[in-house]
Structure formats: C-alpha cells, structure tokens
Amino acid sequence: MKTIKGPALFLAQFAGDEAPFNSWPAITAWAADCGYKGVQVPSWDDRLFDLEKAAASKDYCDEFKGVAAENGIVVTELSTHLQGQLVAVHPAYDEAFDGFAAEKVRGNPAARQAWAVDQVMLALQASRNLGLDRMASFSGALAWPYVYPWPQRPAGLIETAFDELAKRWRPILDRAGECGVDVCYEIHPGEDLHDGVTFEMFLDRLDGHERCNMLYDPSHYVLQCLDYLDHLDIYRDRIRMFHVKDAEFNPTGRQGVYGGYQGWVDRAGRFRSLGDGQVDFGAIFSKLSAFDFDGWAVVEWECCLKHPEDGAREGAMFVSDHIIRVTDKAFDDFADSGTDDAANRRMLGIS
C-alpha cells in the first residue's frame, strides 16, 4: 500500500487580481501558510503561469518549481479544464464558451478548436518539462444537449458524437504517451464523460488507450445520485487524480436533481466545503489507500456558502486528518507462530 500525498490545493478558484492571489510567489506562500504541501496549477492563468514558455523551456519550468519550493510547495499537476472543454463544443454553447478562448479565435469555432488542441498539447509538453506524469482536463461535449431528450434521440446520434469525440482526442492522447503523461478527465456533468458508462464508451473507441484516465471527484457523483464508492472499485485502475470536494443532495417535493434553474444556494444539490456535505471521505481515503493510489489529494473549493479562504484553511487540515499513513506490517504479526510447508500439510491432514 501507498500513502496518499497531500494536502494540495487547486488554484483556479483562488487566482485573482489582488495580492496574494495575483502572482506565483505570493500565492504559493499563501498556500503554504494555509497548510498545503502542493498546488495544482490552472495552465490558462497567465497571472501565475506562462504555458508557452513552460512548453518550450525546461529552464523556465525549473525556475517555476524553484519559486514554489522556496515556499515549501510542490507543483502537483497542470490543469487544462478550460482548454479541454473547447476541444469539443456543441454549437448551442458556442457563445457561452467563447470566453474561455484567446480573443483572436472567438467567434470562429474551427479556429477555437484548433487553438484548444494546441493548448492541451503545449500543456502535455510543459508537464513533461515540469517532471509531472499526469494532467487534469475536461473532455468537452457534443452530446450533452441530448442527455435527457425530448423529442427522443434519433438512432445513432450518441454513437456519432462519441466517435467524433474520440477522433478529436486520439492524437492528443498519443502525444500524451510520447510525453509520458496521463490525461485525467474529470468526470463531470456538462461533459460527455459524466459517469462511468460514458467514460467506457469513450475508452472503447480509443481501444483502451493507456493514457486515457480519470480524475475522481465524488461531489459530482453525489449530485447524480451515483454510488461513488462502488465507482472506485470499478475504475480503480483508471483513477489517477483526486479532487477532494464535498457536496450535499437534499431533494424536496418541489425540486430534485435538475435544480429548478435555481442558484447554487437554493439548489437541492450543491457543493460544500470539506466536512460540511454528505461525502464519506473516510471510506474514500481508505479505499484509495488500499488500492495503492499514489497521487495527490487536491482540495477543490467550490462551496456556495463559506468564504473561500476559510474553506481553503479548513480544507488543508481536513485532508491532513484523512490521509492514512499506511502500515508496513500486519496487526497480528505478534502472533505469527512461524511455520513451514510440512507443518501446513499436517494442519490440513494432508499426508
């Protein structure tokens, strides 16, 4: 067994224009002060990180890691959630997602997609230069508007969507193999990969590509009423990253899974700070430890009630308290009588 690494913090929700959240030296010092040992870096945020430089220069990457190390912080992974989202966008969402892209490609879906693919490719090379072996992303979505269809879906619609999704991602995953980096898709509503079945549909079309893996975030499963512990048992060999995020689902006679178009505070299902929701993290950390998960426990703060800085500080302690320092011996070793094959055969009545 292996001891999970952590705590780490995903910086996407914290990066901003005011100190200490507007520069790499300051935000890593702040994270360390909160109790974190590592940070997951949003590769699109140029206040913290220059993706093109990182892809082109190992020296830049060494300097980048060095600044973090001076504050006692390790870079755990890069995130390409926003760029990965743009690898596959249904036309219904063109305008909504244009803001994720560089200004020069907005309003041009084909150029935006090409830009997104290039961004993810750059992040793979940057991950390699940083000495990282996994990267977080979203799959994007072509079929999502038809997830609960009316009128009914025409035959072959979903199959065509997943064929195209796999076609777009295969060259990226092949490049990931060359870089020695796993692409870990966050299984997430709004993405075509939003549960185990859809991940399998994608993986089948990629012929089981070894670089196609999962980022496990139980909060998204709570809000889907999916068994997040059974999910760990099923996909243990594909789960390579872990977001520690809490959630609660409290349906009423007026509202259920779809939320009634309400804001986060008023939804039946909502994200919460660690320990304030319904996720059984004791069971999750136990399973991951037993499965030899060797990655980082990364806090992702998205609570609709608690202040982010309070959530961050409490989250570091929460993860530290849940990480299991695994044992290197059995609890009943003291009673080992010492035996051999002949004794075993006698005990079984085998002559």
pLDDT (tens digit per residue) in 22-56: 999 999 999 999 999 999 999 999 999 999 999 99
What is the 3-class SS of 268-325, one letter each residue? CEEEECCCCCCCCHHHHHHHHHHCCCCCEEEECCCCCCCCHHHHHHHHHHHHHHHCCC
Q: How confident is the model at residue 333 (pLDDT cuts 50, 70, 90)?
A: confident
**Residue 311's CATH number:** 3.20.20.150
pLDDT at 149 over 70: yes
SS3 state at 241:
strand
Cis amide linkage into residue 218, ω under 30° from 0: no
- What confidence score (pLDDT) does residue 330 get? 76
Measure CA of the first residue to CA of the last residue in the chain; give whole Å. 37
| Percentage, residues of the chain above pLDDT 70 | 99
Query: Which candidate, 256, 291, 250, 312, places its Cα nearest to that of 13?
Result: 312
Query: Which candidate, 301, 285, 212, places its Cα nearest to that of 8?
Result: 301
Q: How confident is the model at residue 303 (pLDDT cuts 50, 70, 90)?
A: very high
Q: How confident is the model at residue 192 (pLDDT cuts 50, 70, 90)?
A: very high
Question: Lowest-confidence range among 115-129, 184-198, 268-282, 333-347?
Answer: 333-347
Q: How confident is the model at residue 329 (pLDDT cuts 50, 70, 90)?
A: confident
Domain extent at residue 87: 5-347
Domain count for the chain: 1
- What confidence score (pLDDT) does residue 334 get? 67
On whether the CB atoms of residues 87 and 172 are closer than 8 A, the answer is: yes
- What confidence score (pLDDT) does residue 335 get? 67
- What confidence score (pLDDT) does residue 327 get? 85
Instruction: Fill in the amino acid letter for 129.
Output: N
